[in-house]
Structure 1
Amino acid sequence: MPRLIDYASRFDFFRRAAFVLVRDVGPQALSRRAVAAALGISVNSVRRLLAEDADLRGLALDEVERRRSRSLWHRPRGLAGADLALDLLRQLLPDEEARVPEELVWLRLALDARRLVVGEQDTAAALRAEHAIADRGFVPEDLDPTTPAPGAGDDPLAGRLTDHHTHRALVVDRALALVGVEEVQERRRTLALLDGLTLHACLGRLTPEEAVSALEHHVASLATSATAA
């Protein structure tokens, strides 16, 4: 009888291996050879199952999203008002030690994919042209200062990152509405607080419990100010 191969399970291992590499080293560590080494298999085995243009960062992000979805299974039910607002915001925070790795991987992927908008004088192409002038006194014909730097262009993760940021904003808006707050500035402040608490928890500067405590204080303050108004 021919052996049945569970390809879905193998891809699950690839996602987990990519996640571990980003968590422990960073996105720059991702390669088919590194994934193979993490799984203890040959690189040819990985190449047979992953397309040449497959984005390994996307696999790591798949694992982040899988873990986030799994954490939602254990959320409390029947909450309302400020209690529900707090629970919604906690979902955007590593509120338990087990959730810190997924947020750390998320931050590393988001920062790796980030493309800053810079002035013309700050691009790699402009820098290459300036160096050529300093070194040779002129810009060679084959060095076009308007040519994008190697690796520049749209990042394949950009759309997924944007979707996540949109989702975060919608969750924050719903939480604020539950405590009677609908100010744009408050949304920005709450998003910034969540980002800051997440970063500090990932860096070990705050425990998840301390981060949750700070978030509880923020929600209570919002509810109090809304009631007073």
Structure 2
Amino acid sequence: MPRLIDHDERNDAIAQAAIRVLTRDGLAALSVRNLAAEAGIATASLRRAFPTQDALRQFCFDEIRDAVAARIGALSGEGAPLVLALLLELLPLDATRRSEFVAQLQLGSLALTDPALRPSAIRLSEDVRRACTAAVAELARCGLLSEANDAGLEAERLHALLDGLALHLLWEPGPDPAGRASRILTRHIDSLAG
């Protein structure tokens, strides 16, 4: 009797393998053959699931988005502690988030010249923008945003801070990247109160 395929399980294995390949070997190594070997599945099976490179790359972007959304969705609390936890989820502070960020950068560099991949890269950036907007709204809801501050502008500024901080943490994590990121973000959150 043929073995039934758990498509979610297979897709998770493919996503994790793709992130490992992108992180370890770079975008040029994200081939069907390499990915099938890394995931431990047949090349033909991978080709059926992702008939084109674009489909595979878009899948990778979507998997990163879904993983981050799941972690953020699991957060609880309110006010500045919730905002800080939310923002820290968007930074490369552990092996998983670092790998996701490196994969995102690899795919994002290709999206600059690949019109088929560009919408996936833009959606990921829009997700971060929405998270920043939600963070500023939460601060405003709790009275932690000065009325002199424009919420939309502060969300954009926070997004820029996160993008820059993520790159700094990637290239120069230092001995305590989470502590460093927490101090920088806490200082920024405190400054928004006026």
- Report the TM-score, using the length of structure 2 for normalisation: 0.76
Question: Once the 2 structures are TM-superposed, how far is the Cα of residue 49 of structure 1 from its aligned partner?
Answer: 3.3
Any unmatched runs of 5+ in structure 2?
Answer: none
Q: Percent identity?
A: 33
Number of residue pairs aligned between Structure 1 and Structure 2: 187
- Answer whether contact 1:95 1:212 (CA < 8 A) is retained: no
- CA distance change for structure 1 residues 105 and 175 in 2, over 3 Å: closer, same or farther? farther
Partner SS, residue 89 of structure 1:
helix
Tell me by how many angstroms 1:35 deviates. 0.8
Match of 2:118, SS? coil
Q: Deviations over 1:165-210 (max 9, x none)?
A: 4423422432452422442443333222111111112223341221
Aligned to 1:19: 19
Structure 1: 4+ residue segments shifted above 6 A: none
Select which of 97, 108, 111 maps to 1:110. Answer: 108
User: What RMSD over aligned residues (CA atoms) do the two structures have, in Å?
Assistant: 2.9
Where do 1:67-216 residues align within 5 Å? 67-72=67-72, 75=75, 77-80=76-79, 82-96=80-94, 98-114=96-112, 155-158=118-121, 160-161=123-124, 163-177=126-140, 178=142, 179-181=144-146, 182-183=149-150, 184-206=152-174, 207-216=177-186
Structure with greater helix percent: 2
- 194-203 vs 49-58, greater mean Cα deviation: 49-58
- SS of the residue corresponding to residue 157 of structure 1 reads helix
Q: CA offset at residue 14 of structure 1?
A: 1.6
Who is 1:47 aligned against? 47
Q: Which has the larger radius of gyration?
A: 1
Q: TM-score scaled to structure 1, two decimals?
A: 0.66
Instruction: Tell whether the 8 Å contact from 1:18 to 1:60 is kept in structure 2 after alignment.
Output: yes
Is the alpha carbon distance of 1:212 and 1:41 closer, same or farther for their aligned partners in structure 2, counting shifts above 3 Å? same
Gapped runs of 5+ residues in structure 1?
116-150
State the 1:23 CA deviation.
1.7
Aligned-pair CA distance for 1:91: 3.4
